[in-house]
Amino acid sequence: MTEFNKEIDAAFQSAWHADKGGDAKWGAIMQQYGAEPLSDGLKKELLNSEMKITRGAFPIELRRVMEKIMAKYPNDAQGFRMDEKVLEYYQKIKPFSGLGDIFANAVTGTQKYSEGLQKEKTKTIKCKNCGAPRLEEMQYDKCMFCGGELAESF
Ligand SMILES: [Zn+2]
């Protein structure tokens, strides 16, 4: 395993083992890499958003640390699939997806459908990577949840 892979793996594990929304230990790792953490206000907003997590730091913070690691090992970083890694991480920290989840999705789907009828032709902007909707009251280009690219859809 290369040093690059070792550090990516270590960051991944640290984020995963952090408390929900990140903890002091994770904060120290971010600081060590010089990666910018989310503000407390934004964390709170994300914790209350529909993008549920059960544990671990927010995917965007892991992405920021992995970006620093990529910059440290530019040769090894070539061909590294950031979005896939972030999505793999998100799969690990999101609520268990079993039958209950399918049921929840069905209910959400119905709600979305009726909401859609009310707000007809409302433009929604979603993350291409994790599917998070853009926080309405904010303007930004990248997903605040995972750091992926946002795409417009109608
Ligand atoms: Zn996202």
Span from the CA of 82 to the centroid of ligand 1 (angstroms): 12
Q: What is the residue-wise DSSP string for 39-72?
A: PHHHHHHHHTSSS--SSSS-HHHHHHHHHHHHHH
Span from the CA of 124 to the centroid of ligand 1 (angstroms): 14
pLDDT at 55: 96
Span from the CA of 142 to the centroid of ligand 1 (angstroms): 8
**Segment 134-143, tens digit of pLDDT:** 776 565 688 9
Span from the CA of 146 to the centroid of ligand 1 (angstroms): 4
Tokens at 154, concatenated? 């109608």
pLDDT at 116: 52
pLDDT at 134: 79
Span from the CA of 153 to the centroid of ligand 1 (angstroms): 15
Q: Above 90 in pLDDT, residue 96?
A: no
Start-to-end CA span in the chain (Å): 44
Amino acid letter for position 67: E
Please provide the size of the chain in residues.
154
pLDDT at 152: 75
